[in-house]
Amino acid sequence: MPDEQNIYYHYTSVEALYNIVKTRTFWLVNSKSSNDKTEGVLDLNKFNEILEKTYEKTPDEKKDFFKKIIDFPFSMDNRSVCNEYILSLSSQKDSLAHWERYGDGKNGISICLNIQRLEHFYNQLNWSFGALFRMHSLIYDYDDFIEQILLIVEKDWSVPELSKLFENPLDDMNFLIKTVKTGLYNVLCSFKKNPYFKDENELRISCQPSEIIGLYGFFKALRKQFKTQRAECIRNAKSLDIEQPYFAPIRGEIRSLHHLCLKDIWGSDLIPEIMLGPNCPQSKEELLYFLAENGLNGTKVTESEIPIR
């Protein structure tokens, strides 16, 4: 059994489990379908307040550039709109709130996922495609945004090296500042969820399928000496079956989704456990038989310990 700190849980119905196991595929749904209707938007006054507080903790050598970012005029028109597709997991095992919200009214199951196995897979894909796949915890407290921005600044900003990318015409510098500020806003919107959902402790796997599709052309154009690398890059992405949009009725309405096929890493090391919900009628013996016939012969089946009628 993998280390518990690498384990997260996806609550769903028995019917969904059947489809996931048979196809070795999870659904990535549009983030606009989140049950938090405030998700994806951050109040601009709050955004500026977060930047000001972050500035106070920014390393001295990066303060000048950060001040330019804070002072740069920003509006919702600057924001790039992208379709992000997500798979939601939780660190909460056997949670009554999760069973009620996402586990088919306590009649469903919880899929235990080994994140370490997924991370290794995503690292390989991101090496080929850039950071198109993200795996991150959501933020429910505005103060935590400060730490998130500081991480971005320390990891991704080589300031003043960033400014040296240009011959210093004003338009180029303004473009750089606008791009960085817009990027910060979009990242915070992707990481943010309303504090009322804090008990979910959500970990999110997300990507933008449109960007992956756009890179196919790039890899196809690689020179002949990169033929092997080109084929491997395309094969890795194609194995996910992620480029084709699909639609399905979800919570009473038709919603768009993309597939996340994990056939290349499928096995009980990826899914070490399936838990039956408090009121789940599924037979353990039948489920074990089904799992073994579909590449999960080492996966345990356990039962919720919540004593609810």
Q: Which domain holds residue 96?
A: 4-303
In this predicted structure, what is the pLDDT of residue 169? 44
What are the DSSP calls for 173-202, one per residue?
A: HHHHHHHHHHHHHHHHHHHB--GGGGGG-E
In this predicted structure, what is the pLDDT of residue 81? 54
**CB 241, CB 264: distance < 8 Å:** no
pTM for this prediction: 0.77
In this predicted structure, what is the pLDDT of residue 136? 77
Q: How many domains does the chain have?
A: 1
Identify whether 8 is part of a domain: yes
> Of 275, 272, 270, 268, which is closest to residue 110 (Cα–Cα)?
275
Identify whether 95 is part of a domain: yes
Identify whether 61 is part of a domain: yes
Q: Which residues contact 251 (CB under 8 A, 6 or more apart)?
A: 33
In this predicted structure, what is the pLDDT of residue 37? 74
In this predicted structure, what is the pLDDT of residue 4? 65
Identify whether 122 is part of a domain: yes
In this predicted structure, what is the pLDDT of residue 215? 52
Identify whether 309 is part of a domain: no
Identify whether 202 is part of a domain: yes
The backbone torsions φ and ψ at residue 97, rounded to the nearest 5 degrees and listed phi first, read: -60, -40
> Of 114, 110, 184, which is closest to residue 146 (Cα–Cα)?
184
> Coil, strand, or helix at residue 26?
strand
Whole-number Å distance between alpha carbons of 170 and 186:
24
Q: Which residues contact 7 (CB under 8 A, 6 or more apart)?
A: 93, 112, 113, 114, 115, 272
Identify whether 308 is part of a domain: no
Residues of the chain falling short of pLDDT 50: 1, 159, 162-163, 165-170, 218, 222-226
